[in-house]
Structure 1
Amino acid sequence: MDPCAYHDTLTDDEMLDWLGGLHGGAIISNALGQPITMPSDHYWRKDLIWVDQQLKTMSNGRQVLDHQRLIQPEAFGAERVVLAPDPLLEMLTTLFTVLVTMFHETNIGQYYRPSPYATRFLWAFGQCAYLNEVGFSQPPALSREAAEQVITDLNQRLAAWYQSQQQPDFTYECNRNRRNSANNYKRLCELMEALFVCHSRLQVVRVDIGYTEFDSPYIDYETARYHREQLCYAFNTHSLFNHLLGYAWKLEWQPKKGFHYHLIFFFDGHQCQKDITQARLIGEMWAKAITGGQGLYYNCNLDAERRYCYNAMGRIDYHDFEKQRGLYKLAKYLTKIDEYAAMLVEGRTFQTSRKPERYDGPRRGRPRLYQSTHLTPRSAGF
């Protein structure tokens, strides 16, 4: 593994393992080997992500259905025909069944935000009578003429779906996460710049918080948001945050980890000096007091010098341009919108504290030795 890379993304093996077990995988059991019933929304979240992955693959392949190969006699010598098993047709049926169930037939998808690929698939296929019959009952026997019409209709719908992806509004929607990431990065940079203007030394603490492997499937977004709000409330009430100057958090979701947050804190570096201890205490507050033992945390400050090529943890003085450069690299990562979380929640997935008001009066203590008090994103190499 590249030591310069952050460790938060799924590996290819983890993704393949998850996709392979999405439908009909191993039964989850407790420590005694007893089967555990997973909540249905846990599977629906996985299905929505799986659907998006398959739609992107289909979009790249641009396949169509073959009339001659698909139309087969129902039995030897029979006049009626059926559509033979076909990977593309089976995929269309599965995608149709999942999306229509979530967004048309039930209220399951009311809190989800399907991708542009999925919304246009529903537009193209949502009223397809054949997929509705095949997806929710049994494949019908047809006359040859009717079978030809079915395949023609499906191919026309496929062509319309492919064509919809060439429209400017599709590209605009696909770039929404990129635009949001850029706005988030700008906001976090402005916060950091304002803090270095007002304070000569910051203590940077980063903590990743989530849930145990056993509990994460049961934690829905409302629960994760409530726990995060409880932690944010402590910023104004608990002595652990007496010297907190600013913060930012980002929500993510992964198949094995469920909902989890990445947090970065900026403390007054003259008052708060034990960054590793501070990160541990915040993590323990999350794991024990806020989530009641359901939570887990990772102390990013622990052994940060060895773990990251561009270490931005711990003490950063206003004139330490090298470490500030690492802070901007970290900000770039922290502000990138998680594509999965953006589909699974309607609410906010990133937030920063308010930046402090610029202080233009006389400074206390020794004057600064350097005129430039902070880097800008451009000077940091972005």
Structure 2
Amino acid sequence: MNMIDAMQGKTIYHDFSGTSVQSVIFNDYHDAQWIVKAIDILKCITRSEGDLFATVENKIDALGAKSFTVKPRNHLANSLVVLLHDQFAHTLTNLFPNYQVNPYLQAFVQNRQYFPLSMDVRTPRLPMTVAYDLSKCLNCLVTALRQDAQRPDFKETVRNFERSANKNHRSLIGYINGLFTAYSKLLVIRLDLEYMADDATGWSLGLKIPHDQVAADRDIFFRSLPGHLKQKLDKDVLVGFCWKLEYGPRTGWHYHTLVFLDGQKSCEDVTLGQLIGERWMAVTNNQGRYYNCNSRKIVYSRLDSLGIGLIDYRDRKTRKNLENTVAEYLTKVDACVKLKLPDGARSFGRGVTPKPGPKRGRPRSVSGPSGQLSSGM
């Protein structure tokens, strides 16, 4: 099964927790999320010790024939089996023209070429020599990945690659904390902004729209959003935003966004998310589409990762999810894959941090300082 398989708006992710790989279906598009997970797995593999694969003898079948199986020793080995699947490698290859990839991913692809694995690791019954050779090949691949990760030049390359992502994450956390300092409650809305599929070809328009138009659509969208919401709600509610540009093999150019509204003045985040999404469609002359992640809050709650919706500044758990799950995803992608953009173009941006408001020990004003907005960093 492919690492990501989008059909009719549904995306299948693979959860690598526990001792087996479980499929988890989401209805939104996160084209780079599976790459983030893959690199986390590769990092853990390079830090592991000992053989990850063993050869075990099966019980003699009814005809008295012996057979052997390659057995993954733990969940990291199970995860590597998924990463080695041909469809996964094919998807990675499709992304290379648009991305610079993390050194861990480069090492994986390069070493995989040196260790051709024609036999499916998951074949339950193999001849003895085939099983032992396959197990040895897999363990040698793991050793090669570990050796690459220990090279000083490799470590330096990783630090340089991840530096901007770490900087953006710190910047976004500071921005969110600044908003909570100014506003006692935030209504956090998470939207994915994409482009419609072409009726003639079935391919997303985001695959062929030039980057300068995509950037222009974003600028118009965020600059017009405060007035749009004020006109619809008859009050100023927008206090901040951030965006992350990605390019997916199916969706092409698209944005993951967070929109922050004054929680003392606004509620019904699902309805407001639709209102904001409709603005994106208008800006793109109905060539755009959107996904309102707030409509699926119950799913995030079940996964104990809810970090959107109405959040009180004293709600440490939800704020932690906002910082460590939602905000980290928007910035961590750049630590794994970097878009190849024109000189000076950015793949991440946010609004301007509001001036400090009243201290938390004092009653807070409902309005707070005005939300000064910017199109990017």
After TM superposition, the score normalised by the length of structure 2 is 0.55
**Cα RMSD between the aligned structures?**
3.8
Match of 1:297 in 2: 290
State whether residues 206 and 301 of structure 1, in contact with CA within 8 Å, keep that contact through their aligned partners in structure 2.
yes
Counterpart CA distance in 2 for 1:16 and 1:195 is: 41
Q: Any unmatched runs of 5+ in structure 2?
A: 1-12, 16-23, 35-82, 115-147, 199-204, 366-377
Q: Structure 1 vs Structure 2: percent identity of aligned residues?
A: 29
Offset of 1:303 from its aligned partner? 2.5
State whether residues 102 and 158 of structure 2, in contact with CA within 8 Å, keep that contact through their aligned partners in structure 1.
no
Offset of 1:312 from its aligned partner? 1.4
Counterpart CA distance in 2 for 1:61 and 1:300 is: 36
Which protein is bigger by CA-based radius of gyration?
Answer: 1
Partner amino acid for 1:185?
H
Quickly say closer, same or farther: Cα 1:234–1:48, change in 2 above 3 A. Answer: closer
Name the SS for the 1:261 alignment partner: strand
Match of 1:243 in 2: 237
Counterpart CA distance in 1 for 2:300 and 2:111 is: 37
Match of 1:179 in 2: 163
Quickly say closer, same or farther: Cα 1:340–1:365, change in 2 above 3 A. Answer: closer
State whether residues 253 and 340 of structure 1, in contact with CA within 8 Å, keep that contact through their aligned partners in structure 2.
no
Residue by residue, what CA displacement relative to the aligned partner does 1:117-152 show, whole Å, maximum 9, x if unpaired? xxxxxxxxxxxxxxxxxxxxxxxxxxxxxxxxxxxx
Offset of 1:282 from its aligned partner? 1.0
Matches within 5 A, 1:16-27: 18=91
Match of 2:30 in 1: 8
Is 1:312 aligned to residue 307 of structure 2?
yes
Match of 2:352 in 1: 354
Counterpart CA distance in 2 for 1:348 and 1:51 is: 17
State whether residues 205 and 265 of structure 1, in contact with CA within 8 Å, keep that contact through their aligned partners in structure 2.
yes
Name the SS for the 2:332 alignment partner: coil
Residue by residue, what CA displacement relative to the aligned partner does 1:251-285 show, whole Å, maximum 9, x if unpaired? 11111111110110111101111111111111111
Partner amino acid for 2:331?
T
Match of 1:270 in 2: 264
Deviates more, 1:241-250 or 1:309-318: 241-250
Counterpart of 1:189 (choices 165, 170, 173) is 173
Offset of 1:233 from its aligned partner? 1.2
Matches within 5 A, 1:132-281: 168=153, 171-214=155-198, 215-238=205-228, 239=230, 242-281=236-275
Partner amino acid for 1:299?
N
Matches within 5 A, 1:102-121: none
Residue by residue, what CA displacement relative to the aligned partner does 1:173-195 show, whole Å, maximum 9, x if unpaired? 54334111111111111111112
Offset of 1:340 from its aligned partner? 4.7
Matches within 5 A, 1:79-94: none
State whether residues 181 and 358 of structure 2, in contact with CA within 8 Å, keep that contact through their aligned partners in structure 1.
no
Match of 1:332 in 2: 328
Partner amino acid for 2:249?
P
State whether residues 226 and 238 of structure 2, in contact with CA within 8 Å, keep that contact through their aligned partners in structure 1.
no
State whether residues 187 and 352 of structure 1, in contact with CA within 8 Å, keep that contact through their aligned partners in structure 2.
no
Offset of 1:306 from its aligned partner? 2.3
Name the SS for the 1:272 alignment partner: coil
Offset of 1:336 from its aligned partner? 1.6
State whether residues 213 and 256 of structure 1, in contact with CA within 8 Å, keep that contact through their aligned partners in structure 2.
no
Offset of 1:172 from its aligned partner? 4.0
Quickly say closer, same or farther: Cα 1:14–1:203, change in 2 above 3 A. Answer: farther
Counterpart CA distance in 2 for 1:51 and 1:247 is: 27
State whether residues 358 and 364 of structure 2, in contact with CA within 8 Å, keep that contact through their aligned partners in structure 1.
no
Match of 1:343 in 2: 340
Counterpart CA distance in 1 for 2:30 and 2:193 is: 12
Offset of 1:7 from its aligned partner? 5.8
Count residues with an aligned counterpart.
244
Deviates more, 1:304-313 or 1:182-191: 304-313
Offset of 1:50 from its aligned partner? 10
Partner amino acid for 2:169?
Y
State whether residues 98 and 247 of structure 2, in contact with CA within 8 Å, keep that contact through their aligned partners in structure 1.
no
Name the SS for the 2:258 alignment partner: strand
Partner amino acid for 2:311?
I
Offset of 1:354 from its aligned partner? 1.1
State whether residues 99 and 339 of structure 2, in contact with CA within 8 Å, keep that contact through their aligned partners in structure 1.
no
